[in-house]
Amino acid sequence: MSDPSLAFEPITQLAAKIRAGALSPVALTETLLERIAALDGRLHAFIAVTRERALAEAGAAELALRGGQDLGLLHGIPYAAKDLFDVRGVPTTAGTRLLAANVAREDAAVVRRLAGAGMVLFGKTYTVQFAFGGVGVNHDQGTPHNPWHATHHVPGGSSSGSAVAVAAGLVPMALGSDTGGSVRLPAALCGTVGLKTTVGRVSRAGVYPLSFTLDSVGPLTRTVEDAALVYQALQGVDARDETTAGVLPHDALARLEDGVRGLRLALPETLFFDDVDPEVERAVRETAGLFRSLGAFVESVKVPEAAEAMADQKRALAIAAEACVYNARFLDEHFDDLDPVVAHRMIAGRQLSAPDYFALMRQWADLRRRLGARLADVDALLVPTTPLPAGPLADVDRTRESYTQWNGRYLRNTAVGNILNLCGVSLPCGFTREGLPIGLMVYAKPFQEDMALRVARAYEQATDWQRRRPDLAWATGAPGR
């Protein structure tokens, strides 16, 4: 590899080198494509590498910059997209071989937005089948390998390949989607930053759906600043996604560096810290002291709405019920060909009656109103992204029962944010004795992504967790799954 140091540089540093003439988009693209060829046989992050498109886009970016046409800091920067996002001429498989011939005719709305910002698309990353799972396991196409351990540990899902690609230095950014934690959960387990946006902020047109009610789009990056840069380019109204109607873009960068002095932050003691791994709890609670030293007011609060949101067992069927609509033909005609864990969890959604579904939606709306009133004077919540770090694949996926148990534990703290319509950022706040990442989640109120990013940025600037890199010596051998 010509310059391995480039592999872990954030977008802001790469952009500065490009503008200083020390790095060209083509050289950067060639370097990272070489890294993917060397490492991805073991990591299993990419289902498709669009090499020719990447080189063509990098060449176009380089020519434009030489000609004085600068589209901003994302111009010439590589990225990848989860295999739910349509990319023209490439299959959108949504994690199943049954969709191998589902070749997209046009790019998803967000892929077009990033093209407009001059970014260079490297290809598609693996996901959980139909994006329906939090541990990141895919029994059909294979499970990406968490880069922080030589033994196969789960990467988190469902944006599993995107998190692995960023954490391993294959690309500086990758797109993910989040329905119950699918951006934040793999970000936490793989030691990256993940931004969950409020539904309506970013168009989902051209993204294979799981739940129309809860699906959102967000980036996985190396730094909070990078996440803010990408988010700035992604947001905006799109007629093809009615949830974006009337949601005007806001400036997520204007106050990104303002710090937390005078802000009110809270540790929610209801649900979020229950049954949490001791190393995870210690790391997250220690962030309170750092935030206080930066001038924030930090207190503990009760959030009964969180427990109520997760107490109704019908909530687990709501996503499945919506997913059954989108995937009915596979459930009816190819059930035995599907990933058995996903298929059985999804088809259970047909048990939810229409009256129960409607009642659940009204209950969620009431919980959101009550939570808004309770947090009226709170700027952000500080919680563990996941109650436990990444587990060995062999333990997690030993039986269907063990998978279900691990999946439920991993998703708890993230799924409640989707139900309560919060936005949030997950970022590294420590490592376990085994060297596995621990994620801090900064929750903010709906449509306050700028606040979540600002708080997360202040913590990032005061620590150096994001500078740690996985030792990938084990991944340089022969391909293995």
Mean pLDDT of 165-194: 98
Q: What's residue 316's pLDDT?
A: 86
Residues 272-277, mean pLDDT to the nearest whole number = 98
The answer to whether residue 70 is domain-embedded is: yes
Number of H helices, E strands in the chain: 16, 11
Q: Is residue 477 part of a domain?
A: no
**364 inside domain:** yes
Q: How far apart are CA 182 and CA 187, in angstroms?
A: 9
Please say if the pLDDT value at position 4 is more than 90. Answer: no
How far apart are alpha carbons 391 and 156 in whole angstroms? Answer: 10
Q: Give the pair of three-digit tokens for residue 122.
A: 């490297």
476 occurs within a structural domain: no
475 domain-assigned: no
CB-count exposure of residue 333 (10 Å: 0-12, 13-18, 19+): exposed
CATH for 110: 3.90.1300.10
Please, what is the average pLDDT of the chain? 97
Write down the catalytic residue from 24, 158, 159, 203.
158
Query: How many Cβ atoms from other residues are within 10 Å of residue 400's Cβ?
Result: 12
For residue 3, the model assigns a pLDDT of 63
Tokens representing residue 196 in the block = 């969950």
Active site residue 82: yes
Q: Is the pLDDT of residue 481 over 80?
A: no
- Whether 54 maps to a domain, the answer reads yes
Whether residue 126 is contained in a domain is answered as yes
Contact between 105 and 111 (Cβ < 8 Å): no
Domain extent at residue 225? 4-470
- Above 70 in pLDDT, residue 361? yes
The pLDDT of residue 476 is 87
Alpha helices in 44-159 (DSSP H): 51-66, 109-116
CA atoms within 13 A on the CB side of 46: 27
Query: Is the confidence at residue 276, as pLDDT, over 90?
Result: yes
Share of the chain above pLDDT 90, in %: 97
Give the pLDDT confidence score for residue 144 in this predicted structure.
Answer: 98
Which secondary structure element, helix H or strand E, spans residue 194, and what is its range?
strand 193-196
Residue 1's pLDDT is: 43
Check if 182 is active-site. Answer: yes
The active-site residue out of 24, 82, 160, 216 is 82
Asked if 193 and 186 touch (Cβ cutoff 8 Å), the reply is no
Domain count, the chain: 1
Q: Whose CA is closest to 1, among 146, 170, 167?
A: 170
Q: What's the order of all strands across the beta sheet hosting 423-431?
A: 46-49, 120-125, 78-82, 173-178, 216-221, 193-196, 423-431, 437-444, 380-384, 264-268, 297-301
Determine the pLDDT at residue 313: 80
The reply to whether 478 falls in a domain is no
Neighbours of 368 (CB within 10 A): 17
Taking 70 as the threshold, does the pLDDT of residue 43 lie above it? Answer: yes
Instruction: Note the pLDDT of residue 283.
Output: 98
Q: How far, in Å, CA of 284 to CA of 56, rounded?
A: 44
Is the pLDDT at 434 greater than 60, yes or no? yes
pLDDT at 260 over 70: yes
Where would I find the beta strands (DSSP E) of 232-314? Answer: 264-268, 297-301
Among the listed residues 160, 182, 216, 426, the single catalytic one is 182
pLDDT tens, position by position, 149-166: 999 999 999 999 999 999
Q: How confident is the model at residue 196, as a pLDDT? A: 98
Q: How far apart are CA 33 and CA 7, in angstroms?
A: 10
Tens-digit pLDDT profile for residues 191-223: 999 999 999 999 999 999 999 999 999 999 999
* pTM passes above 0.75: yes
